[in-house]
Structure 1
Amino acid sequence: MTPLPPILWLQAFEAAARTLSFTAAGHELGVTQSAVSQRIRLLEDRLGQKLFVRHPRSLTLTPAGQAWLPSIREAFTRLAEGTAEVFGPRPEAPVTLRATPVMQQSWLAPRLLLFHRTYPHVAVRLVSAIWAADFGPEGADLEIRYGRGDWVDVEALSLGDEAMLPACTPELAGRLNRPADLTGETLLHAVGFAVGWPAWLEHAGVVGLDRQCRTLSCDNQVMTLDLAALGCGVALTHHGLLAQREDLVAPFALALPSDEGFWLVRPARRQLREQAALLWDWLARGLDATGGGRFD
């Protein structure tokens, strides 16, 4: 395997290729234009190919430089991500907390309010995530994830067992005496959950009733619950989330238990910064790692 060139040469190439200027690359790297030019020449000598075409007042990449640049960028990105995974972000950086929008609005908002009043010196950065692929250790100190809690390389505290049940306005609930009364109503779907309307309807003994209903699908529960609150239809939601709403009621007492739930998550491979640990301890208060936590 060919030995890798020194990282200073690679940094000079990436910056110069991105800016198409040795001068701009030098400003970015804190060195002179001539230092960047020298590192590029040494790199080209090592590789045996030219990476740039030098014009009187500009640069362009050669075909070899264009082909190599994506690999260099990917390598630097992965290096930055790996550093953050193991060592965490800079000590002075805000504590980054990633969560789904519905958890931000319901469970998290009142807790962050009290945390901010108690620790006003701790800066918190809240990041939204919806799909499973949005989550991961890169760039986040803490997360609130939805799933079975079987992720690798993380410590996870359960926010409690979950069950799914219908939710709608009190006015709509007044004409729903039994599950079969959902016929002709609009069912609001939040996609991506293990337990959806077909599973709940089967549990209620009215298999296939969804084919006799209107449908409106959303990619998050914030929208389905807001639509339900406007009288648009009936949402299927988590028992714990419904408990946070004063504008929605459960028309039926029947709830379908789910093996998925919400979890407070932190990377297991690194120690939390002091400020991140403060937020973890605050949110973990009242929870335990055995799944007996409370979603209230």
Structure 2
Amino acid sequence: MVRPYLPLNAFRAFEASARHLSFTRAAIELNVTQAAVSHQVKSLEEQLNVVLFKRLPRGLMITAEGESLLPVLRDSFDRMADAVERFRGGHVREILAVGAVGTFAVGWLLPRLAAFRERHPFVEVRLSTNNNRVDLAAEGLDFAIRFGAGAWHGTDAVRLFDAPLSVLAIPAVAHDLREPADLLGLTLLRSYRRDEWTRWFEAAGLPRTQPPQNAIVFDTSLAMMEAVLQGAGVGLAPPLMFSRLLAAGAVVQPFETSLALGSYWLTRLQSRSLTPAMAAFSAWLAEAVAQEGLG
């Protein structure tokens, strides 16, 4: 297939002129003359047989045809810049797109991510967070770290570790908690799982206890713990993910009872072959989990 000639200099001149709505300012950015930019844009218009700008006394106004071309060029230039950046320093940089449950990302991964980057400096990690609902294919992710039972259609899942839930409260509230039944007079905070407080009370030896119906429901433990810190109630969350708050004394765990409802898993599409960056990240995660005795 013979590809059509692509006038890259003219495309650059058009894109810069569209951003500045000025041939003069585009020329300054590109370090050429204003006449050169104007000529390049005019040449592009003639080649495409369209008008890209309306020339005004005090600048430019982009036309509908120009508006349709601009985002395509911006995306192409960004992708070319990313590709060139990967080769900086004589090494191929590889992008690794990871989606993670927000609680895991903030509570466990981020404090340790510098160690991975130090060991693998040419892997660029792009981390996005979610509330455990993720579409690997649609979001273009190499990995997704999720919480659950490990069964997601079309994915390979590697178990990382459990994160049992326990009661967490600010010290002023925890001071009056002598036994689990004392919780019944408080506002209980929970995630979208309706039965978690009921199951925690059963684990604590109160099998017939029904928690109050005025519980506040959150879609992430991060938001729940912020509410705990603000004195809105008592949370049921994984202490492991909030170890820094516990170490600082901002919250306490008044009872030893914990409830295991699932594990964190490293998942990828079964159709997705491992890249060197993916293999490095997977191996590093397994090592970090083993070193901390969590697996």
Q: TM range, normalised to the smaller chain?
A: 0.5 to 0.7
Q: Is the 8 A contact 2:95 2:277 kept in 1?
A: no
- Alignment partner, residue 77 of structure 1: 75
Q: Residue 287 of structure 2: which of 261, 265, 285 is its match? A: 285
In 2, are the aligned partners of 1:184 and 1:214 still within 8 Å (CA)?
no
> Aligned partners of 1:295 and 1:271: how far apart in 2?
25
SS in 2 for 1:146: strand
Secondary structure, counterpart of 1:251 in structure 2: coil
Which residue matches 2:23? Answer: 22
Matched to 1:73, the amino acid is P
The corresponding residue for 2:197 is 201
Q: Corresponding residue for 2:161?
A: 160
Provide, for residues 133-154 of structure 1, a one-character-per-residue CA deviation record: whole Å limited to 9, x for no partner. Answer: 899799x9997733467598x9
Q: In structure 1, what is the Cα distance between the partners aligned to 2:79 and 2:211?
A: 47
Change (3 A) 1:37 1:80: same
Q: Tell me the residue number matched to 1:177.
A: 180
**How do residues 84-163 of structure 1 correspond to structure 2 at under 5 angstroms?**
89=86, 91=88, 102-103=103-104, 106-108=107-109, 111-112=112-113, 129-131=129-131, 145-147=145-147, 158-163=159-164
Q: Is 2:257 the counterpart of 1:253?
A: yes
Aligned partners of 2:153 and 2:74: how far apart in 1? Answer: 26
Q: Residues of 2 paired with 1:18 and 1:168: CA distance?
A: 51
Percent identity (aligned): 23
TM value normalised by structure 2: 0.61
SS of the residue 1:36 aligns to: helix
CA positional deviation for 1:272: 3.1
SS at match of 1:17: helix
Paired residues of 1:20 and 1:60 also in contact (CA < 8 A)? yes
8 Å CA contact 1:52–1:65 kept in 2: the answer is: yes
Change (3 A) 1:257 1:88: farther
Q: 1:4 to 1:115 in 2, by over 3 A?
A: closer
Does the aligned pair in 1 maintain the 2:17–2:25 contact within 8 Å?
A: yes
Deviations along 1:218-267, whole A, 9 cap, x unmatched? 56433433543565422121363256634421636251422x62538898
* Correspondence for 1:51: 52
Kept in 2, the 8 Å contact 1:22–1:33? The answer is yes
Q: 2:277 aligns with which of 245, 258, 272?
A: 272
Structure-2 separation of matches of 1:13 and 1:64: 12
- Does structure 1 retain, via aligned residues, the 8 Å contact 2:13–2:41? yes
Local SS of the residue matching 1:263: strand
Q: Quickly say closer, same or farther: Cα 1:74–1:45, change in 2 above 3 A.
A: closer
SS of residue paired to 2:161: coil
Aligned CA distance change for structure 1 residues 48 and 32 (closer, same or farther; 3 Å):
same
Residue 41 of structure 2 is matched in structure 1 by: 40
CA contact (8 A) 1:172 1:231 kept: no
In the other structure, the counterpart of 1:193 is: none
Query: Cα–Cα, structure 1 residues 151 and 12, in superposed 2: closer, same or farther, change >3 Å?
Result: farther
Aligned residues: 271
What RMSD, in angstroms, separates the aligned Cα atoms of the two structures?
5.2
> What SS does the corresponding residue of 1:23 show, helix, strand or coil?
helix
8 Å contact from structure 1 (residues 160, 294) kept in 2: no
Secondary structure at 1:59's aligned position in 2? Answer: strand
Per-residue deviation at 1:200?
0.9
Q: CA deviation at 1:20?
A: 0.9
